[in-house]
């Protein structure tokens, strides 16, 4: 206890306080002693000092210890509170202890005080410490609890966190697993991708390749399409041909069936068929008659046309006559119009003169007026002067004194008199100047004064005139006197007409104008007269009058009331009235339509003139004249209408002419109409005729086919029959049948030939043949007939003719045959001379004249014209007497002219006829072909195997028989298909191919054999129909030759032999020869002929154009090549190309030209050009040569 | 258009072919033919109102100064674009044909054996076409 203990003592007694103090001091403690006795102080000290112990008395006056204890315990519960008190009692003490006092000390036992204080402080300290410790413990416990809580929280959180963590780990593991799977997937997919990429690359390569392939295919397709299109065209063509062929086939099948049916009853039906044939022949005759009739119709139409033309010519002449007349009339009119114009011009001049004269008169009048005025003025002046004189006299009297003034006055007078003189001189000069005679006469009638003009007119001098009687100078003095008296009476006179006589006798017409002149006192001093010269005027008027009278047209002047005032002779003439009768009458009366005349007349007044109104004047005797009314008013100087001048022009002549002209025109038009009608009729007729011709041709070709087919059978079998054994009589009958059949065939052939040539389809062969041999072979045929008739045949053959010539021997044969048969037919006695003469020979050609001269019945001149026409014989009876159809000469003519030759005939009745023709043949080096007349079996040629392709059984039989006769082996096929089958298995030397067959026809079969089987076996076509079958078609499919049905065995034999020989021996030679002669011709005019339908005019035009156009092109081509001017070369060759195909030049040359063209344009491969150009040049030149030949041929044909 | 005869101009400097065409046309139909050897002549006579013109492509082959087919075509079209012009030529290059069509030719025919038949067909087509046009116009006016 170092510290001072702060003691608070609550005691009211001081004694007690001292006792305590003593006790404290005895207790050896350091203390700070505070004594309080009141509550306030107690509280105060308690408050202010940090008391360590409180000592308190129990009973205080103002305060009690318990209270203080309470307070202290309230404030400082642990502050020791000690009661120091006397005896209070045990209860009080326990009470205080119960109240919380720390200790109770009795005042009497104060010894215990200090230990009690010590103990109390110690306990207090302990208490405080304990309390502290307790507090601290609580705090720490609290702290701990809190921390435990915290720890628990943390723990809880941790648990949660751990759970979280565990969960997240699970998740992570799951993810990790998934990732692994994903990676595996990815790896797998990449692998896949890689594989795909590889596949894609491959696929792209594949695609590219396929695209290339596709393009190739497409290109191929285009080509294939083009091919296809072409093939389709070809197919269509084939299809069309097939259709035609099929139709033909169907038809043929029908025919075949009919044939088969007929065949069964053939024998019985022969007679019936003969009847039929006769009917047909009759029908043919009818048809021919029809044709003749139609031709006659045509001629009639032509004749009508000629007549119509003549009509037209006549009408045209009429028209021209009318026109000429019109021209003359017009000239008349023109002349009259000219005359009228002249008159009018002259009138105009007269008018002008009149006007001029009037002006002159006016001038004169004006001058006169002026002169009068002057005179008046002069008179006035004179009077003035006189007055002045008087005045001056007065003056003088007045001025006696003034002499000088008087002298001056004298001078003045003189001056005045001078002026007077001047004045009078002036007026005098005026008077003298006037051209008109001015005279002054005294009241007695004597001339007092005159001017120069009067002296001139009268021819007298002034001196002679003055004082004479003025009247003496007039031709009519009495009239002059009257006038003169009138002047004095009236004071003036104007424009009186009189005539002055010259001394020499010349008369002058004048107009008299006069007036009196008076002095100042109005006394008449005399008369001033102006006599105006009007001769000119009168002349003019006389002149006008003569003009008017001369006019042929009536001229009339009428007054404003319509009365005639004047007229000319023409009016008198037209109306038939005299002038006197006419004058003053109504002008309208002389017109047929007075009202219209009045209207016209009014119009004149209204408009001032009228022109060309048509009216009609009536003559007194009734004759009417048509006139045109022309009128115009005439006015005086003041514009007043004085009347109307009318000219009425006679137009009757004109009207008549106009009428005639219209008539003529109408006639001409009518004629033209008729002519046109006739033309249309003619065109119609020609059209009908053409149609008729066409239908005739059609008919003929149809009939030919129909007739030939059975004819073939008849003739063939008849021939065959003849070879077998028969009795003589049977042979005779068969011969008759054969003859008839032959005749029929000849007829058919003739008709067909004619039809062919007509249609321009006749083709002439150009093969080498021996003329002489051919001729003699043919003449041989007639020998028997000639011998029969006892006629002599003489043959004249010119040696100079070359042995081999190029031409068509068959046709020549035909011509000579016809002529010969005519000669033989119409000659009954005498001789027939056949002569062949060489007319002209040049390097390449010979011209030969053939003539057949007989001594037969002759031909009249009229008939010579007609005999060459179809179906014409010299007389209608000829057919009956001599037989024949009349076709022979027509055929001859056509054949000769078609080859470019001419035919002629001379004949005399009962003497004989000579038929001649001229032909030209080209020469050749080649050897002639085997003559077709060879009949004998060639022994070298045997074992020929022949395949016969023919559907009609009858014909098959025929062929079999024929071929057996020849000794050939034969095989039969029914149609093309079977033939091909046979060809495949067997071999043959030659095929005889019919054309019309079912299944596969001749063309198809040949085509197949040639192009599919590629066989060159000779094929001969057998055909019944020679008009429609195109030889070209046969050649085109590859046939070598053709034979027409009915088959001539000789021809057939020779052809077979020939063809077989060709294939066996030396075919190259012959082919070469033939090809040489063929090659020599490079042009082929088939195309051209086809296009122009053989119209010779057009052919010639085309050829000439080619001949004109081509040589310059050839030159240009060569020039271009030479100069290496590729442009020129290109254009030249380009132009040539179309004409190659037109002229039928081989397509090789065309292609060559195209190549040259291409090279020239692209300028590549230039080295190939020269050779090709040379070839083109040669072929073109050759073509030109050949075409020139053709041209002359065609020209000759015309 | 003259209902009786169709007026046809043929222009070609190849006289042979020109004549052939003329012959064929005269035979095969009611045509009124006028032939000209150069493009200039054709153009001078355009006032005569042809219904169809057949024009060769290569007109300046012989005479170098003449205008060629294409120029003639242009001038014809400038004069009257309604006249159909058919071009002819012996060459069958396709670019030539296309060139002609660009210059508004109606058709292009190569000179050959079938040329004439083709020309006929073309002319028939032209007239059918014209008839159709006319009918159409007639209806359109009525609407």
B17·A1138 Cβ contact <8 A: yes
Q: Distance, in angstroms, between A1074 CA and closest chain B CA?
A: 29
A chain contacts of residue B60, beta-carbon cutoff 8 Å:
1131
Shortest CA distance from A1129: residue in chain B: B61
Give the number of A-B residue pairs with CB atoms closer than 8 Å. Answer: 51
Q: Stretch A177-205: mean pLDDT, rounded? A: 95
Residues with Cβ within 8 Å of A1143's Cβ and at least 6 positions away in sequence, in order, are A1083, A1084, A1085, A1087, A1088, A1106, A1183, A1187
Most A CBs within 10 A among B12, B37, B60, B61, hence the mutation to make, goes to B61
Of the listed ranges A401-410, A540-549, A637-646, the least confidently predicted one is A401-410
B chain contacts of residue A1114, beta-carbon cutoff 8 Å:
none
Q: Is the pLDDT at A17 greater than 90, yes or no?
A: no
Give the pLDDT confidence of B55-73 residue by residue, as tens digits: 888 876 666 667 788 888 8
ipTM confidence score? 0.76
What does the block give as tokens for A450? 């005159």
Contact between A563 and A589 (Cβ < 8 Å): no
Among the ranges A194-203, A482-491, A843-852, which has the highest mean pLDDT value?
A194-203
- Measure CB to CB from residue A1135 to each of B23, B61, B113 and give the nearest one: B61
A chain contacts of residue B28, beta-carbon cutoff 8 Å:
none
What does the block give as tokens for A1060? 């077989």
Q: Is the pLDDT at A409 greater than 80, yes or no?
A: no
Interchain CB contact of B90 with A (< 8 Å): yes
Of the listed ranges A421-425, A764-768, A986-990, A1103-1107, the least confidently predicted one is A421-425
Q: Is the pLDDT at A1025 greater than 70, yes or no?
A: no
Most B CBs within 10 A among A1138, A1139, A1156, A1187, hence the mutation to make, goes to A1138
Q: Stretch A47-64: mean pLDDT, rounded? A: 83
Interchain CB contact of B26 with A (< 8 Å): no
Q: Distance, in angstroms, between B129 CA and closest chain A CA?
A: 26
> pLDDT category, A941, cuts 50, 70, 90?
low
- Measure CB to CB from residue A1134 to each of B19, B90, B113 and give the nearest one: B90
Q: Is the pLDDT at A1066 greater than 50, yes or no?
A: no
Render the burial of B26-52: b for 16+ CB within 10 Å, e for the rest.
Answer: eeeeebbbbbbbbbbebbeebeeebbb
Shortest CA distance from B61: residue in chain A: A1131
B19·A1135 Cβ contact <8 A: no
pTM of the model: 0.32
Give the pLDDT confidence of A822-860 residue by residue, as tens digits: 888 888 888 899 999 988 888 888 899 999 999 988 888
What does DSSP assign to residue A930?
P
Dist CA A1024 CA A1019 (whole Å): 16
pLDDT of residue A1029: 53
pLDDT of residue A1040: 84
Q: Is the pLDDT at A290 greater than 60, yes or no?
A: yes
Most B CBs within 10 A among A1135, A1156, A1158, A1160, hence the mutation to make, goes to A1135
Q: Stretch B108-135: mean pLDDT, rounded? A: 85
Q: Is the pLDDT at A91 greater than 60, yes or no?
A: yes
- Measure CB to CB from residue A1102 to each of B16, B62, B111 and give the nearest one: B16
Could you tell me the sign of the dihedral formed by the alpha carbons of A761, A764, A765, A766, in that order?
Answer: negative
Q: Distance, in angstroms, between A267 CA and closest chain B CA?
A: 51
Residues with Cβ within 8 Å of A534's Cβ and at least 6 positions away in sequence, in order, are A357, A497, A509, A510, A511
> pLDDT category, A589, cuts 50, 70, 90?
confident
First to last CA, chain A: 191
Shortest CA distance from B26: residue in chain A: A1092
A chain contacts of residue B27, beta-carbon cutoff 8 Å:
1093
Shortest CA distance from A1107: residue in chain B: B16
Residue A791 burial (C-beta neighbours within 10 Å; 0-12, 13-18, 19+): buried
- Proportion of chain A above pLDDT 70, given as a percent: 93
A chain contacts of residue B91, beta-carbon cutoff 8 Å:
1134, 1157
- Proportion of chain A above pLDDT 90, given as a percent: 14
Give the pLDDT confidence of A311-341 residue by residue, as tens digits: 999 999 999 999 899 899 889 989 988 988 8
B58·A1139 Cβ contact <8 A: no
Give the pLDDT confidence of A1120-1163 residue by residue, as tens digits: 888 888 888 888 888 788 788 778 787 888 888 888 888 877 77
Among the ranges A310-324, A511-525, A960-974, which has the highest mean pLDDT value?
A310-324
Q: Distance, in angstroms, between A1119 CA and closest chain B CA?
A: 13
Q: Distance, in angstroms, between B19 CA and closest chain A CA?
A: 7
- Measure CB to CB from residue A1091 to each of B13, B24, B112 and give the nearest one: B24
What does the block give as tokens for A283? 């029908």
SS3 (DSSP) at A649: strand
A1135·B24 Cβ contact <8 A: no
B111·A1138 Cβ contact <8 A: yes
Residues with Cβ within 8 Å of A732's Cβ and at least 6 positions away in sequence, in order, are none
Q: Distance, in angstroms, between A1113 CA and closest chain B CA?
A: 8
A1105·B16 Cβ contact <8 A: yes
pLDDT of residue A933: 46
> pLDDT category, B1, cuts 50, 70, 90?
very low
SS3 (DSSP) at A1145: coil
- Measure CB to CB from residue B14 to each of A1098, A1138, A1141 and give the nearest one: A1138
Q: Distance, in angstroms, between A1110 CA and closest chain B CA?
A: 9
- Measure CB to CB from residue A1142 to each of B13, B17, B60 and give the nearest one: B17
Angle at A89 between CA A84 and CA A90, to 5 degrees: 95
Interchain CB contact of B114 with A (< 8 Å): no
Interchain CB contact of B25 with A (< 8 Å): no
What does DSSP assign to residue A585?
S
- Measure CB to CB from residue B61 to each of A1087, A1134, A1139 and give the nearest one: A1134
Of the listed ranges A826-840, A861-875, A995-1009, the least confidently predicted one is A861-875
Contact between A540 and A350 (Cβ < 8 Å): yes
Interchain CB contact of B34 with A (< 8 Å): no
A1131·B62 Cβ contact <8 A: yes
Contact between A983 and A742 (Cβ < 8 Å): no
Residue A13's CB: how many other CB atoms inside 10 A? 12
pLDDT of residue A932: 46
Residue A300 burial (C-beta neighbours within 10 Å; 0-12, 13-18, 19+): exposed
Q: Stretch A878-895: mean pLDDT, rounded? A: 73
Between β-strands A103-106 and A81-85, what pairing exists: parallel, antiparallel or unpaired? parallel
Q: Is the pLDDT at A936 greater than 60, yes or no?
A: no
* DSSP string of A1003-1064, one letter each residue: HHHHHIIIIIS-----EEEEES-TTTS-HHHHHHHT--EEEESSPPHHHHHHHHHHHHHHHH
CA atoms within 13 A on the CB side of A696: 25
Of the listed ranges A89-93, A1177-1181, B133-137, the least confidently predicted one is A89-93
Dist CA A931 CA A340 (whole Å): 98
Q: Distance, in angstroms, between A201 CA and closest chain B CA?
A: 41
Q: Distance, in angstroms, between A1102 CA and closest chain B CA?
A: 6
A1139·B14 Cβ contact <8 A: yes
Dist CA A324 CA A337 (whole Å): 20
> pLDDT category, A203, cuts 50, 70, 90?
very high
Q: Is the pLDDT at A1014 greater than 90, yes or no?
A: no
A1138·B24 Cβ contact <8 A: no
Dist CA A843 CA A481 (whole Å): 125
Q: Stretch A480-494: mean pLDDT, rounded? A: 79
Q: Is the pLDDT at A1175 greater than 60, yes or no?
A: yes
A chain contacts of residue B22, beta-carbon cutoff 8 Å:
none
> pLDDT category, A177, cuts 50, 70, 90?
very high
* Greater model confidence, A556 or A289: A289
- Measure CB to CB from residue B15 to each of A1093, A1108, A1137 and give the nearest one: A1108
């Amino acid at each position: 206890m170092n510290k001072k203990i702060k003691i608070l003592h609550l005691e009211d007694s001081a004694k007690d306080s001292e006792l305590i103090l003593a006790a404290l001091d005895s207790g050896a403690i350091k203390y700070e002693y505070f004594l309080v006795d009141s509550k306030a102080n107690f509280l105060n000290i308690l408050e202010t000092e940090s008391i360590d112990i409180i000592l308190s008395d129990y009973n205080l006056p103002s305060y009690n210890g318990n209270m203080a204890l309470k307070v202290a315990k309230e404030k400082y519960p642990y502050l020791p509170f000690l009661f120091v008190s006397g005896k209070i009692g045990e209860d009080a003490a326990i009470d205080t202890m119960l109240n919380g006092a720390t200790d109770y000390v009795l005042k009497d036992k104060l010894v215990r005080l200090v230990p009690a204080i010590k103990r109390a402080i110690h306990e207090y300290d302990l208490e405080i410490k304990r309390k502290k410790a307790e507090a601290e413990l609580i705090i720490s416990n609290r702290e701990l609890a809190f921390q435990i809580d915290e720890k628990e929280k943390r723990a809880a959180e941790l648990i949660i966190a751990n759970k979280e963590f565990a969960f997240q780990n699970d998740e992570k593991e799951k993810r990790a697993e998934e990732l692994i799977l994903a990676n595996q997937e990815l790896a797998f997919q990449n692998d896949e991708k890689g594989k795909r990429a590889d596949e894609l690359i491959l696929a792209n390569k594949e695609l590219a390749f396929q695209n290339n392939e596709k393009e190739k295919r497409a290109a191929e397709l285009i080509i294939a399409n083009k091919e296809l299109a072409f093939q389709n065209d070809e197919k269509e063509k084939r299809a069309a041909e097939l259709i035609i062929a099929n139709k033909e086939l169907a038809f043929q099948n029908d025919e075949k069936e009919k044939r088969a049916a007929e065949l069964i009853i053939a024998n019985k039906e022969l007679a019936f068929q003969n009847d039929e044939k006769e009917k047909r022949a009759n029908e043919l005759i009818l048809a021919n008659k029809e044709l003749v009739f139609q031709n006659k119709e045509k001629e009639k139409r032509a004749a009508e046309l000629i007549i119509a033309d003549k009509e037209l010519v006549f009408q045209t002449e009429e028209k021209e006559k009318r026109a000429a007349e019109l021209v003359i009339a017009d000239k008349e009119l023109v002349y009259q119009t000219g005359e009228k114009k002249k008159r009018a011009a002259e009138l105009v001049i007269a008018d002008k003169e009149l006007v001029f004269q009037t002006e002159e008169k006016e001038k004169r009048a004006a001058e006169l007026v002026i002169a009068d005025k002057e005179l008046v003025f002069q008179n006035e002046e004179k009077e003035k002067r006189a007055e002045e004189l008087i005045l001056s006299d007065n003056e003088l009297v007045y001025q006696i004194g003034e002499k000088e003034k008087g002298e001056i006055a004298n001078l003045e007078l003189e001056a005045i008199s001078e002026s007077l003189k001047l004045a009078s001189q002036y007026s005098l000069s005026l008077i003298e100047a006037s051209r008109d005679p001015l005279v002054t006469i005294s009241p007695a009638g004597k001339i007092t004064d005159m001017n120069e003009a009067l002296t001139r007119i009268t021819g007298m001098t002034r001196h002679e005139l003055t004082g004479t009687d003025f009247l003496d100078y007039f031709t009519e003095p009495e009239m002059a006197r009257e006038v003169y008296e009138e002047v004095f009476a009236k004071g003036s006179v104007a424009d009186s007409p009189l005539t002055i006589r010259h001394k020499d006798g010349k008369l002058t017409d004048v107009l008299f104008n006069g007036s009196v002149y008076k002095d100042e006192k109005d006394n008449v001093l005399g008369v001033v007269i102006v006599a105006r010269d009007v001769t000119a005027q009168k002349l003019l008027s006389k002149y006008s009058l003569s003009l008017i009278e001369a006019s042929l047209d009536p001229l009339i002047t009428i007054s404003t009331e319509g009365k005639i005032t004047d007229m000319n002779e023409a009016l008198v003439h037209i109306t038939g009235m005299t002038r006197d009768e006419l004058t003053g009458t109504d002008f309208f009366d002389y017109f047929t339509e007075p009202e219209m005349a009045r209207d016209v007349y009014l119009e004149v007044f209204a408009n001032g003139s009228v022109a060309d109104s048509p009216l009609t004047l009536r003559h007194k005797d009734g004759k009417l004249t048509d006139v045109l009314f022309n009128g115009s008013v005439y006015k005086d100087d003041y514009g007043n209408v004085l009347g109307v001048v009318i000219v009425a022009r006679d137009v009757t002549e004109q009207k008549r002419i106009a009428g005639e002209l219209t008539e003529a025109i109408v006639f001409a038009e009518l004629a033209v109409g008729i002519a046109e009608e006739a033309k249309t009729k003619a065109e119609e007729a020609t059209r009908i005729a053409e149609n008729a011709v066409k239908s005739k041709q059609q008919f003929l070709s149809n009939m030919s086919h129909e007739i030939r087919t059975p004819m073939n059978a008849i003739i063939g079998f008849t021939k065959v029959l003849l070879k077998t054994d028969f009795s003589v009589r049977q042979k005779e009958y068969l011969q008759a049948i054969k003859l008839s059949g032959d005749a029929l065939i000849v007829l058919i052939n003739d008709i067909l030939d004619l039809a062919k040539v007509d249609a321009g389809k006749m083709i002439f062969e150009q093969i080498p043949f021996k003329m002489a041999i051919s001729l003699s072979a043919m003449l041989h045929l007639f020998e028997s007939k000639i011998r029969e008739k006892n006629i002599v045949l003489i043959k004249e053959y010119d040696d100079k003719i070359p042995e081999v010539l190029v031409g068509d021997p068959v046709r020549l044969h035909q011509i000579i045959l016809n002529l010969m048969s005519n000669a033989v037919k119409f000659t009954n006695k005498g001789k027939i001379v056949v002569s062949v003469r060489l007319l002209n020979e040049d390097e390449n050609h010979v011209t030969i004249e053939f003539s057949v001269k007989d001594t037969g019945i002759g031909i009249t001149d009229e008939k010579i014209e007609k005999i060459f026409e179809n179906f014409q014989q010299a007389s209608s009876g000829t057919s009956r007497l001599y037989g024949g159809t009349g076709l022979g000469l027509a055929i001859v003519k056509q054949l000769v002219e078609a080859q470019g030759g001419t035919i002629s005939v001379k004949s005399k009745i009962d003497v004989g006829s000579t038929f001649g023709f001229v032909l030209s043949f080209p020469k050749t080096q080649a050897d002639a072909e085997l003559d077709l007349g060879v009949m004998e079996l060639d022994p070298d040629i045997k074992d020929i195997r022949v395949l016969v392709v023919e559907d009609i059984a009858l014909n098959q039989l025929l062929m079999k028989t024929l071929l057996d006769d020849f000794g050939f082996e034969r095989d039969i096929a029914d149609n093309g298909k079977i033939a091909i089958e046979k060809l495949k298995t067997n071999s043959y030397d030659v095929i005889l191919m019919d054309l019309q067959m079912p299944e596969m026809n001749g063309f198809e079969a040949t085509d197949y054999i040639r192009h599919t089987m590629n066989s060159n076996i000779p094929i001969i076509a057998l055909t019944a129909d020679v008009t429609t079958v195109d030889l070209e078609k046969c050649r085109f499919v590859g046939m070598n030759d053709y034979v027409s049905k009915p088959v001539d065995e000789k021809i057939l034999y020779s052809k077979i032999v020939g063809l077989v020989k060709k294939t066996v021996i030396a075919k190259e030679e012959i082919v070469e020869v033939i090809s040489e002669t063929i090659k020599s011709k490079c042009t082929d005019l088939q195309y051209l002929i086809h296009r122009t339908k053989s119209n010779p005019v057009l052919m010639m035009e085309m050829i000439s154009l080619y001949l004109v156009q081509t040589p310059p092109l050839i030159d240009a081509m060569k020039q271009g090549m030479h100069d290496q001017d590729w442009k020129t070369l290109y254009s030249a060759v380009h132009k040539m190309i179309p004409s190659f195909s037109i002229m039928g030049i081989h397509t090789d040359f065309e292609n060559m030209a195209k190549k040259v063209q291409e090279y020239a344009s692209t300028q590549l491969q230039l080295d190939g050009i020269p050779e090709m150009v040379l070839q083109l040049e040669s072929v073109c030149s050759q073509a030109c040569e050949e075409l020139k030949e053709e041209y002359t041929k065609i020209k000759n044909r015309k | 258009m003259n209902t009786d005869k169709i007026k046809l101009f043929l222009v070609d400097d190849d006289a042979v072919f020109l004549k052939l065409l003329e012959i064929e046309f005269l035979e095969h139909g009611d045509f009124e033919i006028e032939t000209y050897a150069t493009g200039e002549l054709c153009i001078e006579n355009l006032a005569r109102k042809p219904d169809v013109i057949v024009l060769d492509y290569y007109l300046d082959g012989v005479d170098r100064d003449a205008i060629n087919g294409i120029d003639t075509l242009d001038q014809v079209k400038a004069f009257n674009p309604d006249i159909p012009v058919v071009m002819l030529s012996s060459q069958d290059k396709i670019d030539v044909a296309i060139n002609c069509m660009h210059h508004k030719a109606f058709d292009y025919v190569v000179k050959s054996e079938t040329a004439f038949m083709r020309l006929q067909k073309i002319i028939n087509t032209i007239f059918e076409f014209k008839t159709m046009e006319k009918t159409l116009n007639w209806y359109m006016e009525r609407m």
